[in-house]
Structure 1
Amino acid sequence: MNAGIGCEHLDRPLGLTLTASSNTSISLTWTEIRGPVDHYRVTHTTALGVSSEVKIPSGSHSVTFNNLEPHRKYNVSVVAERGWQQSYPSTIEGLTGPYSIEELTFSDINVSSVNVSWQRPTPAADIFILHYNPRNNGDTMNVTVDGTETYTILSNLKPGEEYIFTLVAIQGTITSEPVLGTFTT
């Protein structure tokens, strides 16, 4: 079916917006069209021309594509359909985030400090944010690390405590999936 057949009867979905992105997903929303619609056909296509399509029922106006490739550009289109009629597509580009950091490494551990390190993701991050807190109690603390660094030294830790760590890489407005780790002082 060609986009545009019967376009005089169906409005094009407007307000197509990228609402969230991670290294493996893209979430979108749009404004429902006026008048009846059977469903919306949402397609994402890679630069290599590989595409995937889902149908979103009338009354819904958002979708999340999961299991995408990290650090890839996706062209997304939304078409309203009713019977044999289609609207013109609304389109937007979405970008998944960097590859995830594989693991955290803890070294130079003593009763009140630790060196936390990781491998640099591809592509490089702008910044890293490390969240950490004692497992049993205590507030979550945050450290922001420049994207050119691959470690940070934490001090003033409580002796004999197990700590939980979460590290994310941020590139522009895109946040990677978190990597988790634990260690005991």
Structure 2
Amino acid sequence: MKELRTGVPASNLFRALRRQDSSVGEVELCKRLAEAFPAVSSKAFDAIRRWLEPDGGSDWLLDSVMQGYLEDAGYLEEPRSPHRAISHLLDHHVPSDESEHEDAIWLLRRIVQRMRDDFGHSIKESVELVNCYFDRFCNPSYAAQINYSVQDIEWVFREEESGMSARVQYYVTLGSKVDEMAFIAWFNALVKKQRSAANVAPG
């Protein structure tokens, strides 16, 4: 299990362990994970159980959330993906095909990159900001409180990385009140400013 510290995908490692010993199932995998990483969240065991189910989660989902739980427990030095956001969007979503989850995870990682590139946050800060955004906007209670739709995977695909990174910046970093018209005005001004800066000739 220590290979998980070096970036080996959980799905690859677990599958190799099961090939070596066909008796290795949910209980044994969870036992080995707990022995190697005693501080890891029990949600990691739930992720293993779901992955082993016949119609369970994809390899990409297991790999991303497992990495996130290890990060939370302090076993990985640098965060690499917004695993809470991934869980909020994908845990209860039935994909139309396997690639849909992979595309969503890739897009969330691109949102993290845009937070760094467009707004100057570190990768670690960007991961937490993206996680915080989806902690709020995927929460039905919060959505009802602000009279807003719960954001789902279709919403993220529609907004794409530029729109979602701007939403994270506006609503989480700047702490702005939820107001769609005010956000659109701010976003349009941001895009205009970015285009003007791109058109300025060097020197």
For normalisation by structure 2, the TM-score amounts to: 0.23
For normalisation by structure 1, the TM-score amounts to: 0.25
Where relative contact order (Cα < 8 A, 6+ residues apart) is larger, the structure is 1
Higher helix share goes to which structure? Answer: 2
